[in-house]
Amino acid sequence: MQAAARTPAEAASIGCACREAAMVATRTDTAHAVMEDFILSRHRSLVREVGFYEAMSQTRQAIATSREVLRRFRERQGDDTPRAKNTDRGPVAVSAFDADIIRAACRDLIAEMNVPECQWRELARSLVREFVACEQTEAGLVDWIVRRPAMTKTDEAG
């Protein structure tokens, strides 16, 4: 009954006050929501950073471990192979399998780098030296590596 007794101006001012209160509440709620979102996003980014640094630490540790394993493997391989002990003796024997690998690598290098034929022997010799870790190499092995493949029947006909 009192609402009917109010004048339209009073009712309008009460409505404005309610709307203003609602707007202030909305702005406050919005500000709280923005601050909460900022805090959560900051927390998420910190969690991501911590995760990133943990992953980096694990990666570094794995790399260090693999280097250590590789170092121990090389030491053991050096102890087991006669070529490491007999570097001052004659040429080192290379297995046929290893020679095939060296030959394929040499041919790939020659093809990729367009090495002139006069440098093939030196390239093959350096590959063998690098592989066996010995200065003396068998001349027959180097000859076999740089020799051209046998002609096929179609090449002979032409």
* 35-57: pLDDT as tens digits: 888 888 887 888 788 888 888 88
Predicted local distance difference test score (pLDDT) of residue 152: 37
Q: How far is CA 40 from CA 34, 35, 49, 84, in A?
A: 10, 9, 14, 61
37 alpha carbon, distance to own chain's centre: 36
Q: What does pLDDT average to over the chain?
A: 74
- The whole-number average pLDDT for the span 98-108 is 86
Residue ranges per structural domain of the chain: 7-78, 86-157
Residue 99 CA to residue 131 CA, distance in Å, equals 10
Report residue 143's pLDDT band, with 50, 70 and 90 as the boundaries. Answer: confident
- Model pTM? 0.38
For residue 95, the SS3 value is coil
Range name among 50-64, 87-101, 129-143 with the lowest pLDDT average: 87-101
pLDDT digits (tens, 9 = 90+) for 113-134: 888 888 888 888 888 888 877 7
Q: Are 92 and 132 in contact (CB under 8 A)?
A: yes
